[in-house]
């Protein structure tokens, strides 16, 4: 039954995204303002070109501080991760669940025809599973 549930059924589509030329500190402000740990980076045509994570931001700060504080910052493209694992919106959620357990990822960008169309997270998978579990199983007491 869960194999029939697709990523597109539970992915989030209203994403915070950055562009390669976004200022790093503006991106950090967005991450903090929206309480998110990372966001996709897309080009002008909506093609996924990277991910900017909290870790990428921290690495940029540490690297810049070794030289001088005036060299801190720059554009997102200088610090984003460009090797990004993605999933298709037509992939079943059990396969994605398996990838989460093996790859130790928090989220996967969802790409269709080369364009970013959403994102699926561990929480989205848990929500899908909850929707298919009987109410009696959810409210069991130990």
Instruction: Dump pLDDT digits (tens) for 32-69.
Output: 999 998 999 999 999 999 999 999 999 887 766 556 55
**Total number of domains constituting the chain:** 1
Q: What's the whole-model pTM score?
A: 0.82
Structure tokens at 17: 């995204």
Separation of alpha carbons 38 and 28, rounded Å: 9
75-87 tens-digit pLDDT: 999 999 999 999 9
Q: Is residue 84 part of a domain?
A: yes
CB 75 within 8 A of CB 24: yes
The angle that helices 93-103 and 122-132 make with each other, rounded to 10 degrees, is: 140
| Contacts for 135 with CB less than 8 Å, ≥ 6 apart | none
User: Domain with 62 in it: what CATH number?
Assistant: 3.10.580.10
Question: Residue 86 burial (CB < 10 Å; 0-12/13-18/19+)?
Answer: middle
Write out the residue range of the structural domain in which residue 6 sits: 2-133
99 occurs within a structural domain = yes
């Amino acid at each position: 039954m869960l194999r029939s549930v697709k990523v597109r059924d539970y992915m989030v589509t209203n994403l915070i995204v950055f562009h390669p030329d976004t200022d790093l500190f503006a991106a950090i402000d967005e991450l903090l303002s929206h309480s998110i740990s990372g966001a996709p980076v897309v080009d002008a045509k909506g093609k996924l070109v990277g991910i900017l994570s909290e870790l990428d931001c921290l690495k940029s700060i540490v690297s810049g501080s070794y030289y001088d504080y005036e060299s801190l910052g720059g554009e997102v493209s200088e610090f984003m991760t460009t090797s990004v694992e993605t999933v298709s919106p037509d992939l079943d959620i059990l396969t994605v669940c398996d990838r989460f357990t093996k790859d130790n990822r928090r989220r996967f960008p969802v790409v269709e025809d080369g364009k970013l169309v959403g994102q699926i997270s561990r929480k989205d998978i848990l929500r899908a599973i909850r929707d298919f579990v009987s109410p009696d199983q959810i409210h069991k007491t130990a």
